[in-house]
Structure 1
Amino acid sequence: MSSPASGRSASMQPGNHHRALRTVTIISTFGGLLFGYDTGVINGALPYMQEDLGLTPLTEGLVTSSLLFGAAFGALFGGRLADRNGRRKMIMVLAVIFLAGTIGCTFAPNTGVMIAARFILGLAVGGASVTVPVYLAEVSPSNRRGRIVTQNELMIVTGQLLAFIFNAYLGNSFGESHGIWRWMLVIATLPAIALWIGMNFMPESPRWLASIGSFGETLSVLQRIRSQEEARREFEEVKAMAVEDYKSKMGSWKDLGIPWLRRIFVVGLGLAVIQQITGVNSIMYYGTQILSQSGFGREAALTANIANGVISVLATFVGIWLLGRVGRRRMLITGQVGTTTALLLIGFFSLILPEGSARGFVILALTVTFLAFQQGAISPVTWLMLSEIFPLKIRGLGMGASAFLLWIVNFLIGFGFPQLLAAIGISNTFFVFAVLGVGAIAFAAKYVPETRDKSLEDLEHYFKNVADGKAEASAAKIS
């Protein structure tokens, strides 16, 4: 087995840096696969849980959203713990929590235990949502960072697609069997075990190693995932920035008193909020119920819901391709315009088309369109930008706080959606999300910067210079 910090193995030797980087990406993004499967599996499992556990709209919301509430705290503390103990070690711990939470959900005898186990599972989901993108951003060369980090988003939607497929297969084949939802849940133990085993052989983040002054190991890791020339050049950049930030090894809330750091922090929080208020997870968590209300039967809705997973994966491939050619900011705004338009149309056609017509297929087509914009533009750009805009000093703090807020908004949507649906109907519910989408477009247009083709160190210098320039302009006006 490899040493904890450097992960020395045959695949990590100099000369095989492309293969080594690819291996690091695949193994670490099993955290994203688990994130996707555990958030998506509830979509098809809920109808069967309702029968076995006697769920009401309130407890249905609690079972769904308890994972999201746990994810908020997993994200908040996961970033800080990854700063203190290392990205690699944190991902290994998360793999164990994924396994424990999945087993707890699978064997839950009642609603209370299910809610508690889903909360524990959420701690791992939230921790993975911040730690894996940061780890990928810190091991990636700047010219490939967009594509590499976004592969985590691809694994998230792949996990959701796999959940939808297994749900449909098990529901259609064994739907009359008691407790079939337990088999839907237990499948997640397999990638959790694979993640823990694989991360034993992966290297630590070179930037985290530099942040604790371990420059020898920093260079060693870079030499295994870069060419020798690239490793030496990047090492000098990373070392210079680490030395500059060494006086504050780990950022704190006090650092937000610095204007340029505070500005980045606020932008990060805003990115987190506008990614969620599109209502994307109302479709990912309750897609089966939405399709059922639109005219599909239970088993037919399970099968039709696979289309949502397929388009999410295909759109993410397109998003990865676009990230190398289009600015992040433009992609984000385009995605927000597309999702808001789709939400308006869902509300409109739900209102005017009667049951028994083509209503179900129209709603399915519009949810697929919505997800094409969401998963092809908004989601990959959001997680990528959150992993790259924060300077090393507050990267864990900023990513953790932003993801905490993201998951809290996600929790509120997941908890409130079934009750909102019951209270005001499907049309008005989606009109509410459309109004929120307009606000998201305005925020993105005014505050979100462009980060494409800049190294993490370049971005830090850029934000400092922007803040310094504004301070000088303000001083000039006063004088």
Structure 2
Amino acid sequence: MKSNINFSYLVFLSVVAALGGFLFGYDTAVISGTTSQVAQIFQLDTLQQGWYVGCALVGSIVGVLLSGVLSDKLGRKLTMILSAVMFSVSAIGCAFCVDFNQLVVYRIIGGVGIGVVSVVSPLYISEVSVAQYRGRLVSLYQLAVTVGFLGAYLMNYQLLAWSNSGVAASDSWMDWIFISEVWRGMLGMETIPALLFFLIIFFIPESPRWLIVRGSDSRATGILQRIYGSVQQAVEQLNETKSMLLTSASSQSEWSVLLQPGIRKAVAIGTGIAILGQFMGVNAVLYYGPFIFENAGFSGGDSLFYQVMIGLVNTLTTVLALVIIDKVGRKKLVYYGVSGMIIALCCIAFYFTLGEVWQIPSWVLLFFFLAYVFSCAVSICAVIFVLLSEMYPTRVRGLAMSIAGFALWIGTYLIGQLTPWMLQNLTPAGTFLLFAGMCIPYMLIVWKLIPETAGKSLEEIERYWTDSEK
């Protein structure tokens, strides 16, 4: 039966949805290469610089709150189309904006797109996947995010090199965007993948599980038949999903279902690991890596080079996680990876405490950081979107993921704001020891409260939560 599954079709659907993750990563990372230029062009003070960096995050929080309602009401496909439109409008608007206020508005629009796609893309992949491949297919989204980060770094580097080469563009507007104010080109180049995302979404079907919720059984059966390669398996999956919908009391409102004891517990756990994961240091390293390295005594050029290496290790390790997540299992990856994170974080703290006194070579600190990024990328970064996309009932999956996603973005915002303060007041050593300490409750939650979901259908996972409180 397994051999009948149309794996190439599943990969196509997943790659299309994962392109939203690339846009997420690019839009998030591209800002790092534009801040100083924008501050100079628009004569920004420090508060305005902070607002320029943080305004997209405000949009992301709004987007993640809207994503659940939109994806449950309009469907996963149409919601992804809306996010692609927002990315396109944002990229074009940023390239051609005439003042700082317009730039902020377009960055917020892009942030809304980030928030929406961070929920709906992994959700869609999870719902079209079959149990034995779901982990690695949903992990394609996280891989796309890391590739988006690298793509932004490389695009910033290449456009800046072109701008500094002294070669004039043929048209005045091209010269304006790619030479004299190259930050416009950095932000505007997102238009290409955004338009590709918009166009290619029209070639994928709606989520069959969402169609079943909406009573479109015939359309859902046709899509399931193409996925499973068998009418019998398609009908069996249709009946299993409909059975779970009847069990969850379809006459109740979405909020009533969400507040049922077992489902409420799943939402609370998902929210907990989403926000806790942000306080284990990953975004502090990805966002403030150059700053941390410079404080450790490295030159600015070395700091940027080290950050590129961190991004490369992050991407390559995500590929490894994608390959093994369904074989090893979600929980084992967390156990191994988070244990490695704790060791690496303690070693980083040790370096900042005694590295100068003991004259430890600088490459040792880089090694500790790369070990941390490896451990993180192979575990919590790869697992979080997989778990959040498969923990919740079909009827309220969008809404529940929106709640967990909101917690994740609040954690991201807090760690972004607090990291400079912690580095200054807790010292780098104290900051990284704090991150190590936050790893322990995360691992305990996964160990004690979350079931192993590898190889289980979404309906089997839903049944675990609904039966757990009986």
Taking structure 1 as the reference length, the TM-score comes to: 0.86
Aligned in 2, Cα 1:333/1:245: closer, same or farther, shift over 3 Å? same
Residue identity opposite 2:262 in structure 1: W
Question: Residue 282 of structure 1 contacts residue 417 of structure 1 at CA under 8 Å; is this kept in 2?
Answer: yes
Q: Does 1:104 align with 2:104?
A: no
Cα offset for 1:55? 5.5
Q: Counterpart of 1:465 in 2: which secondary structure?
A: helix
Q: Does 1:465 align with 2:460?
A: no
Which shifted more, 228-237 or 450-459? Answer: 228-237
What runs of 5+ residues in structure 1 fail to find an aligned partner?
1-14, 469-479
Q: Counterpart of 1:39 in 2: which secondary structure?
A: helix
Question: Residue 294 of structure 1 contacts residue 359 of structure 1 at CA under 8 Å; is this kept in 2?
Answer: no
Match of 2:171 in 1: none
Q: Does 1:164 align with 2:167?
A: no
Equivalent residue runs for 1:243-282 within 5 Å: 243-245=246-248, 247-248=250-251, 251-252=254-255, 254-282=256-284
Distance 2:439 2:30 in 1: 26
Match of 1:34 in 2: 23
Q: Does 1:389 align with 2:391?
A: yes
Aligned in 2, Cα 1:55/1:364: closer, same or farther, shift over 3 Å? farther
Residue identity opposite 1:221 in structure 2: I
Cα offset for 1:118? 2.7
Q: Does 1:312 align with 2:314?
A: yes
Match of 2:235 in 1: 232
Question: Residue 258 of structure 2 contacts residue 396 of structure 2 at CA under 8 Å; is this kept in 1?
Answer: no
Which shifted more, 316-325 or 17-26? Answer: 17-26
Q: Does 1:144 align with 2:133?
A: yes
Cα offset for 1:407? 0.3
Equivalent residue runs for 1:75-474 within 5 Å: 75-107=64-96, 112-171=101-160, 174=163, 178-228=180-230, 229-245=232-248, 247-248=250-251, 251-252=254-255, 254-354=256-356, 360-468=362-470
Cα offset for 1:109? 5.5
Distance 1:249 1:224 in 2: 32
Cα offset for 1:57? 5.6
Offset from partner CA, 1:392-422 (integer Å, 9 cap, x none): 1321111000000100110111233334445
Taking structure 2 as the reference length, the TM-score comes to: 0.88
Distance 2:436 2:41 in 1: 35
Distance 2:161 2:293 in 1: 16
Residue identity opposite 1:238 in structure 2: T
Distance 1:60 1:134 in 2: 34
Which shifted more, 447-456 or 141-150? Answer: 447-456
Aligned in 2, Cα 1:246/1:260: closer, same or farther, shift over 3 Å? closer
Aligned in 2, Cα 1:231/1:202: closer, same or farther, shift over 3 Å? same
Cα offset for 1:178? 4.9
Cα offset for 1:62? 3.3
| Root mean square deviation, CA, Å | 2.7
Match of 2:173 in 1: none
Residue identity opposite 2:406 in structure 1: F
Distance 1:315 1:417 in 2: 25
Distance 1:369 1:463 in 2: 35
Offset from partner CA, 1:1-31 (integer Å, 9 cap, x none): xxxxxxxxxxxxxx99433222211111110
Offset from partner CA, 1:60-86 (integer Å, 9 cap, x none): 443333322321221121022100010
Q: Counterpart of 2:336 in 1: which secondary structure?
A: helix
* Percent identity between the two aligned chains: 31
Aligned in 2, Cα 1:174/1:129: closer, same or farther, shift over 3 Å? same
Question: Residue 61 of structure 1 contacts residue 414 of structure 1 at CA under 8 Å; is this kept in 2?
Answer: no
Question: Residue 17 of structure 2 contacts residue 122 of structure 2 at CA under 8 Å; is this kept in 1?
Answer: no
Question: Residue 136 of structure 2 contacts residue 324 of structure 2 at CA under 8 Å; is this kept in 1?
Answer: no
What runs of 5+ residues in structure 2 fail to find an aligned partner?
166-178
